[in-house]
Amino acid sequence: MLWDKGQSVAAWVQRFTVGEDYRWDTLLLPYDIEGTRAHAAGLHRIGILSDEEFQAVSEALDALKAEVAAGRVVVRPEDEDAHTVIETFLTERLGDTGKKIHTGRSRNDQVLAAIRLFLKDGLREAGRQVARLVEHLCELGAAYNDALMPGYTHLQQAMPSTAGLWALGYAELLLSDLAALRHAYDQVDVSPLGSAAGYGVPFLELPREEVAQQLGFRTLQLHVTAVQLSRGKLELHAAHALVQVGATLNRMASDLVLFNSQEFGFVELPPEFCTGSSIMPQKQNPDVPELVRAGYHRLLAEMNVLLTLPANLPSGYHRDLQLTKEAVIRCVLHAHDLLTAMVQL
């Protein structure tokens, strides 16, 4: 363990504090490797790593990246986190040169860099999926512009409408959600590196701006104390945007379930996206849109963790904040599943 300086803890304490973090850190490993690469470049720039040492670290990180991509390196419970895996790999390969990589950084700013890089990718992918869904809905809008369908208020037939207008209404709503994703992307697109445990690195002039640029961040958090204060808060921006998308999908899925029923009969879902009944062979159940409808509430649950967990915490880092990682990663992965389901449907 990176924190282990000859101190041991009880086995149950290790299990309790690590929890499921090692699973999520396996997903973050590729991003943590890139964060480490940029940090190494910064150390090279200020003379902590020589030319030869920096070259050796870069090559070792390339080798580790290949091992991770092949599935041969993952984070195990005994590793605790991705950071230990990376530094152990470098130290085993490079000896004292590998140990130098931790100069000027803490696990606190290291994990946030990896999470934010993960979130940037996750929000971009969500945006692409939303855009595809908008395109599909616009195609439906054009194809069924004259297909008459009742418009409902209070679930009672109210005014004549069309299936095309139904589709275009959801397309416009998703465009609004796309704007929320863009805003969330801008919020998380800031580098925390150089803040270390939350109060910077005295006596070491880290090239924070250059490292941020190398990692593709639009800027950095200037005041190092802002980094830990924003933990959970920036993740909340991402989760809130995904919840907005989920809210739109929830209502669209509700319509599809209802309109697919024999009583309405406006929609015929593809048989390959329906399941049967164990006792009633004549049935085709709309499980996919039903689970999309339900999935919105799972997004809300994860967002609620991010909304409430940092509340009432004093400034600085607290172990409570570890739980924000799982919440936001779950939110991103589940939102991708919901969008994939609706795009395929």
Indicate whether 310 belongs to any domain. yes
Does the annotation count 154 as an active-site position? yes
Q: How far apart are CA 218 and CA 188, in angstroms?
A: 10
CA pair distance 103, 204, nearest whole angstrom: 9
**Same domain membership, residue 258 and residue 129:** yes
The closest alpha carbon to 267, from 255, 249, 276, 282, belongs to 255
Say which CATH number the domain at 95 has: 1.10.275.10
Q: Quick check: 243 and 299 in contact, CB under 8 A? A: yes
What six digits make up the tokens of 240?
A: 């809130």
Within-domain flag for 296: yes
Please state the rounded mean pLDDT for residues 96-104: 95
Tell me the CA distances in angstroms from 173 to 20, 139, 308, one per residue in order. Answer: 36, 16, 28
The three-state secondary structure class of 148 is strand
> For residue 103, which amino acid is it?
T
Place 1 in a pLDDT band, splitting at 50, 70 and 90. Answer: low
Share of the chain above pLDDT 90, in %: 85
Does position 152 have pLDDT exceeding 60, yes or no? yes
Domain that holds residue 94: 11-103
Tens-place pLDDT, residues 40-52: 999 999 999 999 9
pTM of the predicted model as reported, rounded to 2 decimal places? 0.93
Which candidate, 163, 168, 169, places its Cα nearest to that of 150? 163
Dist CA 246 CA 14 (whole Å): 36
Same domain, 89 and 190: no
Do 188 and 278 belong to one domain? yes
Give me the pLDDT at residue 98, please: 95
Examine residue 233 and state whether it is found in any structural domain, yes or no. yes
Q: Is 278 in a helix, a strand, or coil? A: coil
Q: What's the structural domain count of the chain?
A: 2
| CATH number, domain with residue 332 | 1.20.200.10
Query: 76, 103, 130 — which closes off a domain?
Result: 103
> So what's the pLDDT on residue 20?
81
Residue range 213-250, pLDDT digits in tens: 999 999 999 999 999 999 999 999 999 999 999 999 99
Q: Are 68 and 164 found together in one domain?
A: no
Kindly state whether residue 4 falls inside one of the protein's structural domains. no
pLDDT at 5: 57
229 — phi, psi (to 5°)?
-65, -30
Residue 159 and residue 197 share a domain:
yes
Give yes or no: 83 in active site.
no
Among 81, 103, 125, give the residue marking a domain's end.
103
Q: What does the pLDDT look like over 18-43, one tens digit per residue?
A: 778 888 999 999 999 999 999 999 99
Could you tell me how many residues make up the chain?
345
DSSP lists the bridge partners of residue 159 as 151
- Kindly state whether residues 20 and 167 are assigned to the same domain: no
Residue 140 in domain: yes
- Is residue 58 over pLDDT 70? yes
- 188 lies in the same domain as 319: yes
163-204 pLDDT tens trace:
999 999 999 999 999 999 999 999 999 999 999 999 999 999
- Mark whether 123 and 267 lie in a shared domain: yes
Eight-class DSSP state of 313: P
Among candidate residues 103, 123, 141, the one where a domain is terminated: 103
Please identify which of the residues 50, 176, 261, 277 carries the catalytic annotation.
Answer: 277
Residue 72: which pLDDT band, with cuts at 50, 70 and 90?
Answer: very high
243 and 291 in a single domain? The answer is: yes
Percent of the chain with pLDDT over 70: 97
The H or E element spanning position 102 is: none
Same domain, 228 and 340: yes
Tell me if 3 is assigned to some domain. Answer: no
Q: Are residues 76 and 139 in the same domain?
A: no
Does 289 reside within a domain? yes
pLDDT tens readout for residues 250-304: 999 999 999 999 899 999 988 888 887 778 877 788 999 999 999 999 999 999 9
Phi (first) and psi of residue 20, to 5 degrees: -100, 10
Residues 138 and 248 in one domain: yes
User: Confidence class of residue 345 from pLDDT cuts 50, 70 and 90?
Assistant: confident
